[in-house]
Structures are given as C-alpha cells and as structure tokens.
Amino acid sequence: MSDYFTLLGIAPTVAIGLAAFESAYFAVQRQCHPDRFVGKSAAERQAAMQRSVDANHAYHTLKDPLARARYLLHMHGIDVGTDADTVKPSQALLAEIMELREEPPEAKILARMVEESSNRVAEQFARNDWQAMAQETLRFGYLRQAMED
C-alpha cells in the first residue's frame, strides 16, 4: 500500500483543507465501491475491498490533526505517541507538562495553547525540521490530553 496521502491523492501536509480532504476520500470510496466490481474476478473484488479499508484508515488517521502530525513524522522514520517512540520528550517539555498538571490553566487558555502548538507543528513541517516537529507533536499530544482531562 502507498502512503495515506498518495492513496487519497493529496499532498502530504499538516494543514489539510477539510472540504478537499473529504472530497478526495469519497472519490476513492466511489472508485472501489462493491457495485463497480460486480462480475469482476475475486482478486479484483478483494483488491477493491482492501483499497476501501485502506482509505478508511487513511481518513481516520488524517482527519485528526495530532494523528496526522504523528503519521507525517512516521513517514520520516520518527515515531511519537506510540509504545515504540523514537523520540523522547525533552527535559523542558517534561517540566512544562509537570507544571501544567500541578496548576492546570483555564480551559480557554489551554485551548489557545493547543491551537498554538498545532500551528507550530505546521511551521516545523514546512521547514522540514523533523526533530522540532517531533517535540512539538509530543507537546501537542500532552496538551490535548490535558484538555480532555
């Protein structure tokens, strides 16, 4: 299987336009709809079904900004937010997270921090600064978790 961006026919990026993204997803799903493969061989039907499954995985991964950032890093050989992380949080990030846990900010402030972190991830992606993007993606994940808690 190709990467999720190629599968959906969109450029790899952090900032995805939702309308174009969903349009690309539905186009792929139309191409591999079972009705288009009636009368085809079992191998063709199986390949279409697998493409549909892959498109679903791509959609659910790429529609979430944090999962998308993690996926982009994974495409560059960096895993964060998994059991097999290749990058660990910096001491500064760990200190910031501990401080946030001790004195959680107001919800509005935390929401702004999450948005700013997401923007920084996009900036670092644009600069191909994978290590900085990895640290900020870790931070983004911690901040989102703090919001959910």
Q: What is the pLDDT of residues 37-81, one digit of tens each?
A: 888 899 998 999 999 999 999 999 999 999 999 999 999 999 998
Average pLDDT over residues 11-34: 93
Query: For the chain, what percent of residues have pLDDT higher than 70?
Result: 99
Alpha-carbon distance of 36 to 45, in angstroms, equals 9
pLDDT value for 1: 56
Alpha-carbon distance of 42 to 143, in angstroms, equals 47
Reduced to 3 states, what is the DSSP secondary structure of residue 87? coil
Q: Where are the alpha helices (DSSP H) in the chain?
A: 4-8, 18-31, 42-62, 65-75, 91-102, 107-126, 130-148
Token pair belonging to 42: 């079992």
Average pLDDT over residues 139-148: 93
pLDDT band at 142 (very low <50, low <70, confident <90, very high): very high
pLDDT at 2 over 80: no
